[in-house]
Amino acid sequence: MSQIPTPQQVKGIFSEVYVLYTKWIAVKEPDRDKLLAESREIEQKYPFDICRKMLSEVINVIENSYMERGNDNG
């Protein structure tokens, strides 16, 4: 049962996912458990496919960025 979010909910999803991204992208050693916990809070607030997909992509970008920085330093 996948509801369609309202325009206001989509705006909230974009906003909160962006805030999550900007908070975690520059963290030198991200705490994956905290990142996932914050992501779950957003997903519970906005239980829509678009939210899950955006969170998944943003988490992948954050983790890949961290891995690349680790490879540059090692």
Count: domains in the chain: 1
Residues of the chain scoring pLDDT < 50:
1
Instruction: Flag whether 26 is in a domain.
Output: yes
Confidence at residue 28, expressed as pLDDT on a 0 to 100 scale: 87
- CB atoms under 10 Å from CB of 48, counted, come to 17
Domain that holds residue 53: 7-73
Confidence at residue 1, expressed as pLDDT on a 0 to 100 scale: 44
Instruction: Flag whether 1 is in a domain.
Output: no
> What are the residue ranges of helices labelled H in the chain?
7-24, 32-45, 49-73
